[in-house]
Structure 1
Amino acid sequence: MTAQTIAQQMGARLEAGDAEAVTRAALKLAQTEDTIFVRTEPEAALAQARTCDVLAARGQAMGPLHGVTLAHKDMFDRAGQVTGFGAHPDAARAATGTSTVLARLDAAGQVDLGRLTMSEFAMSPTGQNAHWGVARNPRIPGAVPGGSSSGSGAAIAAGLVRAALGSDTGGSIRLPAACCGVVGFKPTKGRVPVTGVMPLSYTLDCVGPLAASVAEARLVLSIISGADGIDPVCADRPAPRAYARSPQKLRIGFDASAYTAGIAPEMAEGLRRLKALLQDLGHGVVDLDLSLLDTLGEASNVIAMSEAAAVHADRLAVAAERYGPQVRSRLLQAEAMPGYAYVRAMQIRLKAQQQVNQEVFGKVDLFILPTLIGLPPMADAVNISADPKMASLIGSMGKYTRPLNLLGLPALSLPGHEAEGLPYSVQIVGPAWSEDLIADLGQQVETVRA
């Protein structure tokens, strides 16, 4: 599928060039979804659509997203608009500049409908928010939508948009994708610039797309990737491809250790079916011992929370009561964390990266993990307060996502085998900078299952 064909699919058949009419219809629908949208931006969206229509009348197109309606997590700056961060209203601020990723999507022709809900300051894997509630999960009614990019996953599952940006520090792209039955693509750390994006953890933060299909996710990723000359961590490397190639026969690993022994029976069955499918496609399946990853969750948490405490130190000192109880409790605990714990966690990170490159990617090209243990929890069963059980919930939801942030690896969350109509999501994981190979395999699996 070419980028232009994908854009037409995403833009609801814009052959007539009537981006404004499509945008008006999309805004009308979005305005009925107040748990998913923080707010729409009708004037700005319609202005973008009219620009697309003027160009279309001349036989021109802005780019591969010409007239495509998207929406994004409320943490990306846009000049002249307010960024809210999913927080108490007093934390919101008017942006003076536009984030690199939004500017690149604008240049490609997107029509940005507005701001999607998120966990407070991107700090909850469930998507629940003490200030704004929880976005409805369109795929599994009553379940949490996942976090922290909750509105992004929910908006796609509800058919409001075909793709949306999210961020991922410990699973915040992949968890909403899994909870809502959509695709989530966390890139290699340093693939996408974070200029103009709310920070949580400078070491672990990544920006990437959630989408209705792998093809659409990889198109968006190809547009937002690459150095911008401002973000010092973003690498000057060619962007991933926006189109698929048939993957060569690959060595694909599956965990055979106790690390994945506790997954739901339905998830285990899904992995068994996926193994068989990959073998039918001619790929080699390799049993791996991935128990090393089970030791990395705490180091990832120490780095993330230590850096989050630094980000929030000034505001927490004067306005602690303006944080939700869960977020406030986590930040206060992080403030008390000794400096040597952070240094030790960074040492563990470096050693683990070397080990995985040698011991895992020396044996396989890619490996596959569950995204979640099973299905997402029901919203009414999850206590948003600073209860000790919340720490256990956070740990269990990020069991298979958080270690990959510590390692800086790219991972594609793909809706997998379904039981009774419910999605059980898996992750395709590769070495740094292997987004093309991951997406090619993901698209091959997606096509065969369609």
Structure 2
Amino acid sequence: MSLVKPTHAGYFFGQSVIVLAERLRAGSLTSVELTQAALDSIERLNPTLNAFVQVDAPIALAQALKADELLAQGQDLGPLHGIPVAVKDNIDTFDYVTTYGSAHFDGFKPSHDALCVKRLREAGAVIVGKTLTHEFAYGPTGDRSLQGAARNPWDARCMTGGSSAGSAAAVASGMVPLALGTDTGGSIRIPAALCGTVGFKPSFASVSLEGVFPLSSSLDHVGPIANHVEDARLLFEVIAGRKCVVQADPRALRVGWITSGSFGPVDARVDHQVYEAAQQLFGDALQEAAELAPLAAGMKETLLVLQRAEAFNIHAERMQQAPQLFDQEVRERLELSQETRGWQYIRAQASQAQYKVQMAHLFERYDVLVSPSVPITATEVNAREVRVGEQDIDVRAAVLSYTSAWNLTGLPAISLPVGWVNGMPVGLQVIGAAGEDDRLLQVMAKLFVRNQGG
């Protein structure tokens, strides 16, 4: 990508965590300075973008001061030592209010950190605040929350996508260089694509969900949002509790382009931009992969049944005791979820297992699959219908259409910013085989260099 700044840009826009870490260790920057830069950017930009819902400057600066003191004493906790990071508001933090985006938990402060947050602190990262989540992460638009709607840094009239809405907006705008998100049907990759950042959904269960408020236990993932693939890898290593290890592979890469329209309509301009980017990245390795089109409808239906049943299980008592506290749209989704039958859920579990087997066979022929991350650009906040070609389609269905299959099958998938359509970002999605997180990150870090400074 060429160097283009969004309408609303802060200190960390396009910055490399690796470069910032080098400057910290060289003494030309301190963690306190970086954290203050984050706080200043948040103060300036957040009234417009509404990415952060909870910020506490004294808490953040105290963490930064400790990081500086440890470095001065020769204690280096790793690549994220002293680096400001934001955390989605459905992930528990003991020192920040965590509302899960809902009036049900207004003012709630957990007693413990989520394990992924604990690992961030142990790595020396500075937690600067909590970012807006669609209520209970149950929505892909990022505009239904106790704290309102997050806004897109490229055009504040537009949505960020969700449910990791604030995390994507915070990184895309440069308020922070890194953020944690969660992804149940695309909730990291959708806002990453619509806001112009890197968003990585790891393989299922590769990052612990302990202390993360559940939406759907069969589909939930935690992952990073970043400016660069290498930065996403560093954050992934910390929250996964291990280093990435990749075996040398002399084989030529086999890349399958998911046939346009396989998972639903795609805006022709988005399709062209993304396919052109895929050709530039992969060259002659790119080949048509039509095998997924016959599976798409069944995969979508299977995921819907699993998500609805598991979401209602989480919220059944709240729906009975205080339904009025839910956002109306989220409540209506839960009311629909209540209709899912037990036999449908059991059948969907069996179908999920079958799709995982089918994907394993497919990845005997390909190393990665590629597609648009999202088939449209960001619509205006609260829009619920969008014109794609000759069709008017549901915005929520559209933004989920190319991401949710990889939650169902638990495969690692990354969204990369590859250009703009009418001034709004578009993303290329690259999907790897089950458990091949490390290889996917390595391959994309080598191929994809985002020329945005830093």
Looking at structure 1, the residues matched to 39 and 278 of structure 2 have their Cα atoms a distance apart, in angstroms, of 42
Q: What is aligned with 1:346? A: 349
Bigger drift between 344-353 and 80-89 goes to 80-89
Q: Secondary structure at the match of 2:262?
A: helix
Aligned residue type for 2:180:
L
Q: CA deviation at 1:288?
A: 3.2
Q: Specify whether residues 146 and 77 from structure 1 end up closer, same or farther in structure 2 by C-alpha distance, changes over 3 A only.
A: same
Aligned residue type for 1:131:
L
Q: What is aligned with 1:23? A: 35
Q: What is aligned with 2:448? A: 446
Kindly indicate whether the alpha-carbon contact (under 8 Å) linking 2:303 and 2:404 is maintained by their aligned counterparts in 1: yes
Looking at structure 2, the residues matched to 421 and 353 of structure 1 have their Cα atoms a distance apart, in angstroms, of 37
Q: Specify whether residues 108 and 274 from structure 1 end up closer, same or farther in structure 2 by C-alpha distance, changes over 3 A only.
A: same
Q: CA RMSD in A?
A: 2.6
Q: Secondary structure at the match of 1:363?
A: coil
Looking at structure 1, the residues matched to 382 and 100 of structure 2 have their Cα atoms a distance apart, in angstroms, of 24
Q: What is aligned with 1:330? A: 333
Q: Deviations over 1:317-375 (max 9, x none)?
A: 111000001111111121122111111111111111111211x2121111101111121
For 1:270-289, list aligned pairs within 5 A.
270-280=273-283, 283=285, 285-289=287-291
Q: Is 1:9 aligned with 2:24?
A: no
Aligned residue type for 2:208:
P
Q: Is 1:240 aligned with 2:231?
A: no
Q: Deviations over 1:259-298 (max 9, x none)?
A: 1573111222124323432454x63535332111342112
Looking at structure 2, the residues matched to 269 and 391 of structure 1 have their Cα atoms a distance apart, in angstroms, of 20
Segments of 5+ residues of structure 1 without an aligned counterpart are 227-237, 384-389
Q: Specify whether residues 90 and 78 from structure 1 end up closer, same or farther in structure 2 by C-alpha distance, changes over 3 A only.
A: closer
Bigger drift between 310-319 and 92-101 goes to 92-101
Aligned residue type for 1:429:
I
Looking at structure 1, the residues matched to 249 and 16 of structure 2 have their Cα atoms a distance apart, in angstroms, of 18
Q: What is aligned with 2:315? A: 312
Q: Secondary structure at the match of 2:87?
A: strand
Q: CA deviation at 1:48?
A: 1.1
Q: Specify whether residues 276 and 247 from structure 1 end up closer, same or farther in structure 2 by C-alpha distance, changes over 3 A only.
A: farther
Q: Is 1:402 aligned with 2:404?
A: yes
Looking at structure 2, the residues matched to 68 and 247 of structure 1 have their Cα atoms a distance apart, in angstroms, of 35
Looking at structure 2, the residues matched to 448 and 105 of structure 1 have their Cα atoms a distance apart, in angstroms, of 25
Q: What is aligned with 1:429? A: 431
For 1:62-77, list aligned pairs within 5 A.
62-77=77-92
Q: What is aligned with 2:369? A: 367
Kindly indicate whether the alpha-carbon contact (under 8 Å) linking 1:251 and 1:286 is maintained by their aligned counterparts in 2: no
Looking at structure 2, the residues matched to 336 and 254 of structure 1 have their Cα atoms a distance apart, in angstroms, of 36
Q: Secondary structure at the match of 2:124?
A: coil
Aligned residue type for 1:240:
C
Q: Specify whether residues 305 and 345 from structure 1 end up closer, same or farther in structure 2 by C-alpha distance, changes over 3 A only.
A: same
Q: Is 1:162 aligned with 2:177?
A: yes
Q: CA deviation at 1:315?
A: 1.4
Looking at structure 1, the residues matched to 251 and 235 of structure 2 have their Cα atoms a distance apart, in angstroms, of 24
Q: Secondary structure at the match of 1:381?
A: coil
Q: Secondary structure at the match of 2:324?
A: helix
Q: Is 1:262 aligned with 2:273?
A: no
Kindly indicate whether the alpha-carbon contact (under 8 Å) linking 1:171 and 1:402 is maintained by their aligned counterparts in 2: yes
Q: Specify whether residues 381 and 334 from structure 1 end up closer, same or farther in structure 2 by C-alpha distance, changes over 3 A only.
A: closer
Q: What is aligned with 2:9? A: none
Q: Under a length normalisation based on structure 2, what TM-score does the superposition of the two structures give?
A: 0.87
Highest RCO, 1 vs 2 (Cα 8 Å, sep ≥ 6) = 2
Q: Secondary structure at the match of 1:106?
A: helix
Q: Secondary structure at the match of 1:152?
A: helix
Q: CA deviation at 1:421?
A: 4.1
Q: Specify whether residues 319 and 52 from structure 1 end up closer, same or farther in structure 2 by C-alpha distance, changes over 3 A only.
A: same
Looking at structure 1, the residues matched to 170 and 104 of structure 2 have their Cα atoms a distance apart, in angstroms, of 22
Identity %: 33
Looking at structure 1, the residues matched to 286 and 34 of structure 2 have their Cα atoms a distance apart, in angstroms, of 45
Q: Deviations over 1:410-429 (max 9, x none)?
A: 10011124345432211100
Q: Secondary structure at the match of 2:420?
A: strand
Q: Is 1:216 aligned with 2:219?
A: no
Q: Under a length normalisation based on structure 1, what TM-score does the superposition of the two structures give?
A: 0.88
Kindly indicate whether the alpha-carbon contact (under 8 Å) linking 1:62 and 1:109 is maintained by their aligned counterparts in 2: yes
Looking at structure 1, the residues matched to 192 and 253 of structure 2 have their Cα atoms a distance apart, in angstroms, of 25
Kindly indicate whether the alpha-carbon contact (under 8 Å) linking 2:257 and 2:288 is maintained by their aligned counterparts in 1: yes
Q: Specify whether residues 313 and 287 from structure 1 end up closer, same or farther in structure 2 by C-alpha distance, changes over 3 A only.
A: closer
Looking at structure 1, the residues matched to 205 and 321 of structure 2 have their Cα atoms a distance apart, in angstroms, of 33
